[in-house]
Structure 1
Amino acid sequence: MSDVGLSLLHDHLDGGLRVATVLDIADSIDWQLPTTEPSALAAWFTAGAASGDLLQYLATFEHTLAVMQTEEHIERVAYEAAVDLAADGVVYAEVRFAPELHQQQGLSLDAVVAAVTAGFRRGEAEVRAGGADIYIGAILCAMRTEQRSMEIAQLVDRLREDDDKVLAFDLAGAETGWPPSLHAEALEFARERHLNITIHASEPPDLELISDALAHGAHRIGHGVRLLADMTIDDGEITSMGPLARFVLDRQIPLEMAPTCHVHVGAVPDIASHPIGPMLRAGFDVSVNTDNRLMSAVMPSTEMALLRSTFGLTDDEVRQLVRNGVAAGFAPIERRREILASL
């Protein structure tokens, strides 16, 4: 593995908790977990993700969200995310969360975001004190099955003036039957206010969701693996592309790929069938991401190592994947240029 630092654009805060933290907070709030044995609980989370059953997968988040309902607990989880990612070699990270999911005990949206960004800053400071470095920012998600997308877009717009950790707006949650067009008003506001926009597009109806996300102003596509339906791959090489794939390639639309997650959600049968290797070599702007570190039992370094061994990536190709992530980031260009110069 190259010694180049790693980048991360697509990682969910409520999908990346330490098992020990889940156990500790659950005990303090008297929350009932499936098991209190650490290795068994870790296996339970992973089994839910790997089951192929969306309901079982979503059930895992009931427990992580339950322990993220106070400012203290949210700040702790965010702090640990920054420290854990830095320890794994990540130098640039964007971590996303849905503020509306952290209001079960009455926290305001502003308080939720403030707790997250405070945790990120504390983590960054500790990492720097130890002689390393990481930049970590926040993407705020609106749940596409709910009716609060305008509220969240306005939250991003308001908070970015006071908190430079608030980077972008996202639509997350169930996708099939919930296209971006259902949130056209919020997305129009985001475009008018020049917000950074990334939109999840990882479920059926495949190309329609990706196209709809682009039509509504997405600067990046969350996942985008189902673009595979618009190309032909023979012997590891893309031999033909349809109009959407060609547009994404020609316009260099960044795709936030999370290969292990894509296997878990059934987008591809296995890592070898994933298009990220052929797409990288064809010049697509793809990056390597984790989605949910706890549920998929992955870290950025293990995901990169898996792709390197599966596709025979060279050091230069690994470096390109990392650079793609930093270059496509939503942090100020000056900060990203500093990081790119160090890679």
Structure 2
Amino acid sequence: MSTSSALEAQLRPLPKVSLHDHLDGSLRAATLIELAGQIGHQLPSSDPEQLAEIFSTNADSGDLVKYLETFAHTTAVMQTAQNLQRVACEYVEDLAADGVVYAEVRWAPEQHTAEGLTLDQAVEAVQAGIEQGVESVAGNDGIIAVGQLISAMRQNDNGDQIVELALRHRESGVVGFDIAGPEAGFPASKFSAAFTRLAEQMLPATVHAGEADGVESIRDALVHGRAQRLGHGIRIAEDISISQEAPEDQDDQDRAEEDAEDLIEVVLGPVARWVRDRQIHLETSPTSNLQTGAASALTGEARAQLQEHPFDMLYQLGFNVGVNTDNRLVSGVTLTGELAAVAAAFDYELAELADFQINAIEASFLGYEEREALSAHILEAWQ
């Protein structure tokens, strides 16, 4: 067994937290093929392994727009209550098999009404699937809790309507709100009134920002979106400057060689300082960030490597970071695999990986008592 495989085997049963995972990007390949066949939707392949490989290859383009094209296939089969319920149930079962004990799954109901479902019926179907999945996991002596994050699509003009939808279902599975879709050109300020409504009703929000656009998008998410977490958020690194002071003489040069870290100067810009000092959680998804070009936007290279992802820099500087999958099928990942990958890239021990779980659970939209109980459970298991 390889070192990576051995680490994944060690990590898989440990309790984990997933805060940034899209339902429509996380179907089982076999289920997608079956449901597509029922409605006559043409897929690139009818073989589950080959289809998963095609999706992963397409995702690995370095372009967010191309990455999102895959979702035309997944949303096509998620237009009925029966299919939504099945996809949600299997999603929960797959999370549990990956060791996830708490998750917040995001999806956009407005993308699932093409066959006549109302927005409310779509939310109810997904909730029924989640509850069915939780029961299935419990029947196998497992435990998992999953909340819905209702997303509004940035490019559409349905923000107010989707906020009211989320508020109607806050007592039946919905734990928060999100905006998704193309970031550049569709700022959170477009939804300012909707975010104000959320704040008045005290339903929390996370905002996709700092993935396909830069620091000003993050600022906008914080100011107009009242974001309590940032979806990805890695381009906050653009507001951080790191430089090394030049030694003034030979004695300084000798000392510098002995203790180079003392000569490194880190300056946080106002947005980065706000995010770091207020411990606003960054829902990073390392593999997805490489695939969509979010990391490359920071390195200036055509393709960034995981070692070049700003995750470790942000962690070392005290930012509140977490590890997520974004889209399990589309990106071809699991949370266990993502944790193993960052451990290998940045030489993390189990203690650091446990930190990311605690960061996530404390940034979750659960109540205080529930967060405390889950934190204790996670720490006990990881230690």
TM-score (ref. length: structure 1): 0.95
1:171 maps to which residue?
179
Q: Would you say the 8 A contact 1:238–1:279 is kept in 2? A: no
Q: CA deviation at 1:238?
A: 8.1
Corresponding residue to 2:345 among 310, 315, 318: 310
Which residue in 2 is equivalent to 1:283? 318
The aligned counterpart of 2:362 is 327
Distance 2:141 2:240 in 1: 45
AA matched with 1:328: A
Q: 1:167 to 1:50 in 2, by over 3 A?
A: same
Task: Give the C-alpha shift of residue 334 in structure 1.
Answer: 2.2
Residue identity matched to 1:262: N
AA in 1 matched with 2:151 = C
Indicate yes or no: 2:49 matched with 1:39. yes
2:108 aligned with 1:103: no
Question: Hey, what does 2:270 align to over in structure 1?
Answer: 243
Q: 1:232 and 2:267 equivalent? A: no
Counterparts of 1:238 and 1:292 in 2: how far apart (Å)?
Answer: 36
1:298 pairs with 2:333: yes
In structure 2, the partner of 1:188 is 196
How many Å separate the matches in 2 of 1:156 and 1:95? 13
Using a 3 Å threshold, how does the CA distance of structure 1 residues 205 and 249 change in structure 2: closer, same or farther? same
Aligned to 1:64: 74
Equivalent residues in 2 for 1:72-111, closer than 5 Å: 72-111=82-121
Q: Which amino acid aligns with 2:202?
A: H
Alignment partner of 1:208 is 2:216: yes
Inter-partner Cα distance in structure 2 for 1:250 and 1:53: 31
Task: Percent identity, please.
Answer: 43
2: distance between equivalents of 1:14 and 1:159? 20
Alignment-mate amino acid for residue 247 of structure 1? W
Provide the rounded CA distance (Å) in 1 between the counterparts of 2:168 and 2:147.
16
User: Quick check: which has more Rg, 1 or 2?
Assistant: 2
**Could you say what secondary structure the match of 1:195 adopts?**
coil
**Contact 1:238-1:278 at 8 Å conserved across structures:** no
Paired AA for residue 275 in structure 2: V
1:101 Cα deviation from its structure 2 partner: 0.3
Counterpart of 1:298 in structure 2: which amino acid? Answer: V
Cα offset, 1:233, TM superposition: 5.0
8 Å CA contact 1:75–1:115 kept in 2: the answer is yes
Gaps in structure 1 of 5+ consecutive residues: none
Question: Contact 1:233–1:278 (CA<8 Å) still a contact in 2?
Answer: no
* TM-score, normalised with respect to structure 2: 0.86
> Does the Cα contact within 8 Å between 1:260 and 1:271 map onto a contact in 2?
yes
Separation in 2 of the partners of 1:65 and 1:324?
31
Number of residue equivalences: 341
The CA RMSD over aligned residues, in Å, is 1.7
What is the DSSP-based 3-state SS (H/G/I as helix, E as strand, rest coil) of the residue aligned with 1:11? strand
How far off is 1:278 after superposition? 2.2
Instruction: After superposition, give the CA deviation of every residue in 1:65-118 in whole Å (9 maximum; x if it has no partner).
Output: 011000010011100111001100111111100000000001011111111111
Using the TM superposition, give the Cα deviation of residue 263 of structure 1 relative to its aligned residue in structure 2, in angstroms: 0.5
* Cα pair 1:15 1:294 within 8 Å, conserved: yes
- The residue number in structure 2 matching 1:27 is 37
Q: Tell me what 1:262 maps to.
A: 289
Q: How big is each residue's C-alpha offset from its partner over 1:313-340, in whole Å with a ceiling of 9 and x where there is no partner?
A: 1221111001111111112222222211
After TM superposition, give the deviation of residue 204 of structure 1 in Å.
4.6
> In structure 2, which of residues 163, 184, 198 is the aligned counterpart of residue 153 of structure 1?
163
- The amino acid of 2:178's aligned partner reads D
Equivalent position of 1:138 in the other structure: 148
**1:127–1:133: 8 Å Cα contact kept in structure 2?**
yes
Choose the corresponding residue for 1:15, options 21, 25, 30: 25
Give the SS at the match of 2:20.
coil
Name the aligned partner's letter for residue 36 of structure 1.
S
Whole-angstrom distance in 2 between the partners of 1:264 and 1:239: 28
- Whether contact under 8 Å (1:176, 1:203) holds in the other structure is no
- Structure 1 residues 33 and 205, CA gap change in structure 2 (3 angstroms): closer
